[in-house]
Amino acid sequence: MYSNFQETNKLHIKFAALNNFKIMGLTYKILLHKEPKGAYTVTVPALLGCVTYGDSVDNAITMAKEAIELYIEELKARGEDIPDDSDTLEYSLNLVTA
């Protein structure tokens, strides 16, 4: 599915979550960091501390979806706001250093 994945790519996950019979569209950017042994650590910048791991890119994305859903459930249980990346601009810088 993501066979052309490059390590520097950022993947976006969009999914709908039910909230009191309303569908709330949430957007999250996930960062996949390739580990030395080939697996991937995934972080979700909009959700502080939301980190997971997968043996492959596909597995890492699946694990990220699950981690995000669980994180949102916990925020709802605490009555906290649910942040997302819908208002976040993304830009990558390539720097050349001496």
pLDDT, position 53: 96
pLDDT, position 13: 53
Residue 26 bridge partners (DSSP): 15
User: Residue ranges of the domains in the chain?
Assistant: 10-78
Residue whose token pair is 């996930």: 30
CA distance 64 to 44: 8
C-alpha distances (whole Å) from 8 to each of 20, 25, 97 are 37, 26, 18
Please count the other Cβ atoms lying within 10 Å of the Cβ belonging to residue 51.
15
- Tens-place pLDDT, residues 21-69: 333 688 899 999 999 999 999 999 999 999 999 999 999 999 999 999 9
The whole model's pTM is what? 0.74
Would you place residue 71 in the very low, low, confident or very high pLDDT band (cuts 50, 70, 90)?
Answer: very high
